[in-house]
C-alpha cells in the first residue's frame, strides 16, 4: 500500500471537493430554468457524493465505499433515463424546456 504518497493529504481535502461539487450542483438545480441543465446538476451532485465515498474508502482502507459508488452510478443511470424521458415528454407538450412554463402546477 503506497500510503506515504498521500500522507500529507487529509481526508478533509477530498471531502471539501465533494462538498463544493454538491453545493454547486444544488445551486444550479435551484436557479437554472432549463430542465436538462437542472438534471445535469443532479448528476453533478452525484459526482460530489462519489468523490466523498471514494475518499472515505481510501482513508479507511475499506472497499465498501467504492462498491457504493457502483450503486450510485446505477441509480444515476436509472435517474438519467427516466428524467430525460420525462423531459422529452414535457417538451412535446409545451414546446419549451423552461421550468417556469410549468409553474401553474403550484396551484
Partner 1 sequence: MEQHLEYALYIASVLGAISLSLMMPRRSKPLRFLGPILGAAALGGLWLFLSGSDFWADRETGLSGAGFLYYYVFSGISIAAAVKVITHTRPVYAALWFVMVVLASAGLFIVLSAQFMAFAIIIIYGGAILVTYVFVIMLASQPDPDGQSGQIYDKVAREPTMACAAGFLLLAVLLSLSFDPQIAAQPDPDNSDIALIGSTLGGRPIQPSARFEYDPQSELMVEAQPIPTPTNLDPARLSNAERIGLDLFRSHPLGLELAGVILLISLVGAVVIARTKVPDEHPPAPG
Which residues ranging from 70 to 89 are in contact with partner 1 (CB under 8 A)? 70-71, 73-82, 84-89
Residue nearer to partner 1 on the CB measure, 8 or 105: 8
Rounded-to-integer distance, Cα 82 and Cα 50, Å = 21
Residue nearer to partner 1 on the CB measure, 61 or 107: 61
Smallest distance from the beta carbon of 11 to partner 1, in angstroms? 10
Smallest distance from the beta carbon of 106 to partner 1, in angstroms? 13
Instruction: Rule CB under 8 A: say whether 105 interacts with partner 1.
Output: no
Amino acid at each position: 500500500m503506497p500510503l506515504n504518497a498521500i500522507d500529507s493529504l487529509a481526508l478533509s481535502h477530498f471531502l471539501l471537493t465533494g462538498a463544493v461539487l454538491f453545493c454547486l450542483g444544488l445551486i444550479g438545480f435551484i436557479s437554472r430554468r432549463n430542465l436538462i441543465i437542472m438534471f445535469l446538476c443532479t448528476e453533478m451532485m452525484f459526482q460530489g457524493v462519489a468523490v466523498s465515498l471514494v475518499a472515505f474508502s481510501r482513508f479507511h482502507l475499506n472497499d465498501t465505499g467504492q462498491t457504493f459508488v457502483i450503486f450510485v452510478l446505477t441509480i444515476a443511470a436509472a435517474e438519467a433515463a427516466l428524467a430525460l424521458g420525462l423531459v422529452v415528454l414535457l417538451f412535446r407538450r409545451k414546446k419549451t424546456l423552461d421550468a417556469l412554463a410549468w409553474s401553474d402546477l403550484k396551484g
